[in-house]
Structure 1
């Protein structure tokens, strides 16, 4: 049951018009938080906020460019006027469009304009988010900041130079914020999703490649956005009150092992027979 876990909390979710952000916004609202649904896609944010309200939750939508400091100030002030200070932040905005990611290649092939855009959204955007919500959290006696990293920020890949580098830097930002403000009741953590089986991925990757991806996971399926939203809800709630400066990996075990050294192990058809224990009576 999630109802009531975040009663009295005010949450702000970036990149919330679709995907992980939308699932996170809905999960936080279901748990009792009033949610500020923000995204560069204003109509998309409106739609998600409306769905939360229709389900009986509290939400307001705002268009937000996370790289714009003045826009952050306006949204946080509007949220405080409507619901109170933000005490939960899920920094989820990320530049993941196909057109952009297709130009985020290896170091030699990388489009430097993509490098600038990705670092601006992921690093500048989350620094500005922390700067915008921390004063309210400190005044309220604490809060929880959760940012969306990626397993690409934790392992080596031959492509996605900008995205991988930005996500690795984001996890260091988590440790810095957690160190600076933990004594004031503010926790800061990251989630690192693996491959999430969105409709777009399934449409563009093809059935054969999707099957290979599924087989590469220790739990043989792709993730769904609700898997990640559940992790956000845990880190936002008081159930994780002793967890800070950490990255919770939500990837079905994809990044935890070396496939070349891990041949499949066949599950036994039946448990091995255990010989009966014979107890002889003493005479």
Structure 2
């Protein structure tokens, strides 16, 4: 069996596709922070998003900072759009070495199980599961030609713990976890690694704009770190998992949530009583 050499976090010469890289006019989230970070470590980045103008702006920003990036519009509900993304990557850079599946749909009508409309369920799965699977198909085919590559899927703590709403979103993210381990299992011997990150609440522009102060206080109370996560916290983990430094990590579902799901509900009160 071959032994893979570890060369650290350097991504020079690698081509990375990052989906869901922008958030309309609200700035970047996890995908955008990852695109910036990968470009900063030498990767050529294809910035893909439904909002083409915002993706182009991010690609230009990366270029102005000394990196290399191009933008491509992506509609994950459209198989033709996904195919065009990878054709553009190959046309511009020759191949794909890294895929960060990050784009996702969150619909307001995704509520409780008995109130959920079936068209909402179908739309969520078309984008959040089928879209990831199709993107992974295209990436794996190219990576097999290269002798390997890395896929990092953005899942969620919603796949690991229940909530009183967003049942379709949680089910989609659980399906992404399964897709992750199946991809890792089926193509690991061909040099392709696949892992998933499960973010907790992340202080992206869109998240901050859609949450109340009371909810933020509750999240902060139950997060074990003395701060909530940022897109850059997630980007560091995604970039690491995509890099040669993570050569022996595959098939893993990694929570990046500040310890949100790792303790009992009463822990906060116990920590306060202990003076922590």
Relative to the length of structure 1, the TM-score reads 0.88
Gaps of 5+ in 1: 270-283
1:6 alignment partner, one of 5, 11, 18: 11
Query: Relative contact order (C-alpha < 8 Å, sep 6+): which is higher?
Result: 2
Change (3 A) 1:208 1:71: closer
Are 1:27 and 2:33 counterparts? no
Residue deviations 1:178-202, cap 9 Å, x none? 1110000000000000001233333
What does residue 129 of structure 2 align with? 123
Q: How far did 1:83 drift?
A: 1.2
Gaps of 5+ in 2: 1-7, 23-27
Counterpart contact for 2:9–2:240, Cα < 8 Å: no
Counterpart contact for 2:221–2:268, Cα < 8 Å: no
1:66 alignment partner, one of 76, 101, 110: 76
- Please give the secondary structure, in 2, of the residue aligned with 1:205: coil
Change (3 A) 1:204 1:176: closer
Q: How far did 1:24 drift?
A: 0.8
What does residue 21 of structure 2 align with? 16
What does residue 92 of structure 2 align with? 82
Q: How far did 1:156 drift?
A: 1.8
Q: CA-atom RMSD, angstroms?
A: 1.7
1:128-277 alignment to 2 at 5 Å? 128-260=134-266, 263-265=269-271
Are 1:44 and 2:49 counterparts? no
Which structure's CA Rg is the greater one? 1
Q: How far did 1:264 drift?
A: 2.6
Are 1:54 and 2:59 counterparts? no
Q: Distance in 1 between matches of 2:209 and 2:172?
A: 27
Change (3 A) 1:60 1:116: same
Are 1:105 and 2:105 counterparts? no
Q: Distance in 2 between matches of 1:222 and 1:4?
A: 25
Q: How far did 1:71 drift?
A: 2.0
Residue deviations 1:157-180, cap 9 Å, x none? 221110000000110001111111
- Please give the secondary structure, in 1, of the residue aligned with 2:270: coil
Q: How many residues align?
A: 263
Q: How far did 1:78 drift?
A: 1.8
4+ residue stretches of structure 1 with deviation over 4 A? 266-269
- Please give the secondary structure, in 1, of the residue aligned with 2:76: coil
